[in-house]
Structure 1
């Protein structure tokens, strides 16, 4: 798979493998959870919090049918995710 990030049009097919893994995790958990810490997502997906955070912008800008908003910064960036 190409290592390109999401395009300006938000085409989901341009998400990297890491971004797709994060997106899948968010989709699976967004029904029961609203706030996600980068550190905890990383723990679940064997990624660092920094890797998660740096890929969330592409997910936010993609056509993923999820609203992603940077929410807080204490002890790890928190993301508000709604379907």
Structure 2
């Protein structure tokens, strides 16, 4: 049962990673990338590595996603000013 749950979480990592690459909206792509980090955190927790899971959740999916979204919002999504 645990192996099936790990496979489902790993499939979630793959799907959200592919979405992050394929989406045209940068904010949605960054959220999808953060979701991949969250799935990775859950997989580390299921594999009995709670310290790595907490670090991945805090840095990989939380802080990194926030910094990227903050930078994208203040950069204007690549728009040039006249």
Q: So what's the TM-score if we normalise by structure 2? A: 0.32
For CA contacts below 8 A with separation 6 or more, give which structure has more relative contact order: 1
Higher helix share: 2
Structure with greater Cα Rg: 2
